[in-house]
Amino acid sequence: MSEAGDAVGGPGEPAVGIAGYVSPYPYLDRLQEKMEERLARKVPIAGRFCGFCYGRLRAADEVCAFCGRPVAESGTVNEIPQDVLKAFHVRAKTEAAWVHSGAFLGLILAAGLFLWQVIWAPGILGHPALAFMVLILGGYLLAQLFGPILGGQLGYRKGSRKRDALWAAHLAKRG
Ligand SMILES: [Zn+2]
């Protein structure tokens, strides 16, 4: 039987402050992946969910594994509200947009470098074969750097902020 304390900042917690943002609602980070599965309809829509955070409960759960609150206290619901799903969707969409834009920027930079080499670079540096290698390899590396690495961090931060604001609005509305 798990204790409520384990679920709230236990040893399984990811490194604090990934990408310089600490969510005031740590259970949302734990729920993000589950909610994305739900958004993609990989799991049943109906079920038994925590009445506080909407984490899916197993039949025997007396304490929510996501927010750590006793089920007897928060109650249960059969479906996740649409505005809550939207909050998680916004986070996923924002993160993906930053990763894609970053990768695209990386490719543009590599293409620019390629053109510079072919048109202006002196001697061996301007050899088309070398320039082509730079285009392929540089394009890959720059797309990785600006996409998943830098764009991913920025997107994580910006997306989490948006999600958390929508969640705060949901909590306020729920009262
Ligand atoms: Zn919960």
pLDDT in tens, 64-100: 999 999 999 999 999 999 999 999 999 999 999 999 9
Distance from Cα 170 to the centre of ligand 1, integer Å: 14
pLDDT exceeds 50 at position 131: yes
Q: With beta carbons less than 8 A apart as the criterion, state whether 76 and 50 touch.
A: yes
- Domain ranges for the chain, please list them: 1-80, 81-175
Distance from Cα 75 to the centre of ligand 1, integer Å: 10
pLDDT exceeds 80 at position 107: yes
Up-side HSE of residue 12: CA atoms within 13 Å toward CB?
10
Confidence of residue 2 (pLDDT cuts 50, 70, 90): very low
Mean pLDDT of the chain: 90
Up-side HSE of residue 4: CA atoms within 13 Å toward CB?
9
pLDDT exceeds 60 at position 132: yes
Distance from Cα 174 to the centre of ligand 1, integer Å: 15
Alpha carbons 3 and 36: distance in angstroms, whole number: 26
Residue 107: is it exposed, middle or buried by C-beta count within 10 angstroms (0-12/13-18/19+)? middle
Read off the pTM. 0.80
pLDDT of residue 8: 43
pLDDT of residue 4: 40
Confidence of residue 169 (pLDDT cuts 50, 70, 90): very high
Selection from 148, 153, 123, 10 nearest residue 68 by Cα: 10
Residues 116-129: b if buried by 16+ CB within 10 A, e if exposed: ebbeebeeeeeeee
- pLDDT, one tens digit per residue, over 21-39 is 889 999 999 999 999 999 9
Kindly state the tokens that stand for 124: 């061996």
Distance from Cα 36 to the centre of ligand 1, integer Å: 17
Distance from Cα 72 to the centre of ligand 1, integer Å: 11
